[in-house]
Structure 1
Amino acid sequence: MPQLNPSPWLLILLFTWLVFLTIIPPKILGHTFPNDPASQNTEKPKTESWVWPWY
């Protein structure tokens, strides 16, 4: 297997990670979601127990 000169590949790798870490995250985080979940009431609804005649 031939040996590759690491200098151009290392530069390409570093530039790729630079793009991934600086340019792409703000673009992804800038999206807004159309269906934001509404805040739900934290109070539990009052439930009534069932009154069944057990024989």
Structure 2
Amino acid sequence: MPTIQQLVRQGRSTKFTKTKTPALKGSPQRRGVCTRVYTNTPKKPNSALRKVA
């Protein structure tokens, strides 16, 4: 724990947070390209062939 005098002289350095989604570049949605489109079966009580992109 720094003293008050140390904080007055140096101050606190800000931590830089690394973004979890760098490909979005701060946008909530962006256009993308589907690399694979396939069908999948849902979990136990339901049954169908769901299209997954």
TM-score, with length taken from structure 2: 0.25
Does 1 or 2 have the higher relative contact order (CA < 8 Å, sep 6+)? 2
TM-score, with length taken from structure 1: 0.25
